[in-house]
Amino acid sequence: MSDIIRLISCNLERDGDKDEPGGKLPAVWLEATELLGSERAHGIFRQEMTHSPAGSRRLAAAEEILGMRGFVSPNNVGNHPTGMFLREDTFQHAERIPRNYPWRTPPTIVRTRFAGTPEVQLTLGSVHHAFNDPNLRKIEVGDTTAYVDKTKNDDQHLILGGDHNEPPLPEGERTPPIDWASPEITDTVHRVNRTVEIPHTLRTRTLHRLRGALPGPRRPLAPRRVSCTYVDQALLECGMHDAARYHAAQSGDRQCLGPTAGHAPAAKGQGGPQRIDRIYLDPWLTTAIINVRVINMSGLSDHHAVVVDLSARGMALALRRQVAPHPRFFDLAC
């Protein structure tokens, strides 16, 4: 087994599109899959496996190119199911656990055993949180915490990777928070999908009263909106860690905090690139992280891919809990 265990989270836009005439696999899909294959990953969390349902020719082609076993979840009301690929000599006895409600796009949850630590159950999850509703994302991440809760047991661990459709908490990030009041935000539906309203400050309430005292019609203040960051907040509160944030803090290398989405032409007017694709690990496995980086997928997808390298030895020690768990983010911040 390799000394380094490599995990990748990749949202390949619409699975590279439909097959070309004659059933030929699309060139974009093939190039993206070969790029992922060149990374020789041990686990890939995929989102938007639109044309790769279980048993499909495309899923089989991906398995052959990657040298991995593929899993795909049935869809719900979303159009782009999640999936996962695992190298069977590294992640053994893998079994997909059905999960549907309450997700718009159900996650692909796989229970497996890391080679060398067969006594420990490891749960892997490929997630794609709802793009359109902060309240639904709260419900979805609430469901995810059921798996986090299992890590209270000494023989269970968790890794989650995916497109969370929200930025992380702004502390320590390279990319500044979006100013949703900016006139450059022209996609008003996107603003509603990705923000929450917060109360107006005393100053804005005072200005409102002053406006009411002036001649002319009184215009209501538009609601003040900020990016919804509940997914990150909830997982951190539960003790999980964002691999990129951890690596940046430990190594000083902040390149891994680069934005992963919002760079495509279709995202114009949405506030600019944000780091919405992230991999989270439980506090023991976090200690095995040795590197995190972003793969530029421009021309292949509207998302960049996130790569996390773990020490195989450190991972075994973490799974056996022979290392102390990394402290909660909020405890470190105090």
What is the rounded average pLDDT for all residues in the chain? 93
How do residues 97-108 score in pLDDT, each as one tens digit?
998 889 999 999
Q: What is the full DSSP assignment across 57-86?
A: HHHHHHHHHHTSEEEEPPP-SSSS--EEEE
Q: What is the full DSSP assignment across 87-133?
A: -TTTEEEEEEEP--TT-SS--EEEEEEETT-TTSEEEEEEEE--SS-
pLDDT number for residue 334: 53
Rounded to two decimals, the pTM is 0.93
pLDDT number for residue 201: 58
pLDDT number for residue 332: 82
pLDDT number for residue 278: 98
Contact 178, 185 (CB under 8 A): yes
pLDDT number for residue 147: 97
Helix (H, G, I), strand (E, B) or coil at 261: strand
Which residues of the chain, if any, have pLDDT below 70?
200-223, 333-334
